[in-house]
Amino acid sequence: MLAGAGLVALAIPTAGGATGEATPRARATTPADPASKASPAVKASPAGQAFTGVAAVGALFPSGGKHFCTASVVHSPAGDLAVTAAHCVGGHGSSMVFVPGFHDGQAPYGAWPVTRVYTDAAWQSSQDPDDDVAFLQLGRTAGVPVENVTGSEAMAASDDPGADDTTPALVQVIGYPQDTDQPVWCVNWAHAFSATQREFDCGGYRNGTSGGPFLTDVDPKSGQGTVIGVIGGYEQGGDTDAVSYAAVFGPSVVTLYQIAISSGG
């Protein structure tokens, strides 16, 4: 959990293109060969590297065709929510499938249909880059929610409209380049681009990583951390391969999450 005034966990685990992104964000790949599904050790890196993925982060596919964006499972009471960028979902409706841990044509944790999409009213009316966040409700498999299979990321957001939530943070960012079958990861400092946007500088990504999580406090064994943003926002995540953006998770994200979980997520 990030330290700072007004930051809250959106869910506490219990014991036990603006119209769909014709060319979604992603970056160039530097091959790597991690030994397991765990996340790479978190330390600053100069460029993105390919790896075999982590359980809670996956690729979004249309009803037929190539994967086009990235999403990650986040904790919720019903265990069936994922978070991505709002600009990823326009034009797709619920005709999408989430494949967590996808790599090399394999779906080690199954394929989960998107049954409902939640975006903020400000995004719907004006595609405000500060509201470029979406929650996805995922269907169950044999009555089991996705979180029971993949685990989940925590989330942190500020419920205080006046809070300064742009303190620099060391983050790991994972995304799925559209033209490869492996995700990439990169670690560097996310810092304030503006009062409402974070900037992450790291080369090695291509189209397809929009929606990829900005993760802090990543456990190197499980690959799970805390999501503080997703690739999107300003320039729908950035116009160059070396710079990515993410809308700060503020009160609107807190409200949107509450709407999603009250509707069954």
Using one digit for the tens of pLDDT, what is the confidence trace for 106-139? Answer: 999 999 999 999 999 999 999 999 999 999 999 9
Beta carbons within 8 Å of 156's beta carbon, 6+ residues apart? 1, 2, 7, 8, 9, 10, 216, 226, 227, 228, 249
Cβ–Cβ under 8 Å, residues 87 and 71: no
| Predicted confidence (pLDDT) at residue 245 exceeds the cutoff of 60 | yes
159 pLDDT tier (thresholds 50, 70, 90): confident
Q: Cα 258–264–265 angle (5° rounding)?
A: 60
| Predicted confidence (pLDDT) at residue 16 exceeds the cutoff of 50 | no
3 located within any domain: no
| Predicted confidence (pLDDT) at residue 34 exceeds the cutoff of 70 | no
| Predicted confidence (pLDDT) at residue 13 exceeds the cutoff of 70 | no
241 located within any domain: yes
Quick one: which H or E segment has residue 148?
helix 146-150
- What span, in angstroms and rounded, lies between the C-alpha atoms of 49 and 51? 7
4 located within any domain: no
- Structural domain including 80 reads 23-262
Cβ–Cβ under 8 Å, residues 74 and 81: yes
CA separation, residue 17 to residues 64, 143, 190 (Å): 19, 34, 23
Q: For 42, phi and psi rounded to 5 degrees? A: -85, 110
What pLDDT does 237 receive? 59
17 located within any domain: no
Q: For 254, phi and psi rounded to 5 degrees? A: -60, -45
Domain count along the chain: 1
Per-residue pLDDT reduced to its tens digit, 176-199? 999 899 999 999 999 898 998 998
243 pLDDT tier (thresholds 50, 70, 90): confident
139 located within any domain: yes
The three-class DSSP label of residue 4 is coil
12 located within any domain: no
40 located within any domain: yes
| Predicted confidence (pLDDT) at residue 35 exceeds the cutoff of 70 | no
Per-residue pLDDT reduced to its tens digit, 56-70? 999 999 988 899 999
Q: What is the DSSP letter of 139?
A: -
CATH number of the domain bearing residue 230: 2.40.10.10
1 located within any domain: no
**Token code pair at residue 7:** 């930051």
Q: Are strands 96-100 and 57-62 parallel, antiparallel or unpaired?
A: antiparallel
**Token code pair at residue 64:** 């037929």
> Can you tell me which residue has the tokens 């595609």?
127
Contacts 24+ apart (CB under 8 A), 6-9: 6/158, 6/159, 6/160, 6/162, 6/163, 6/165, 7/156, 7/157, 7/158, 7/163, 7/165, 8/156, 8/157, 8/158, 8/159, 8/254, 9/154, 9/155, 9/156
- What span, in angstroms and rounded, lies between the C-alpha atoms of 108 and 52? 11
What pLDDT does 8 receive? 43
- What span, in angstroms and rounded, lies between the C-alpha atoms of 69 and 26? 8
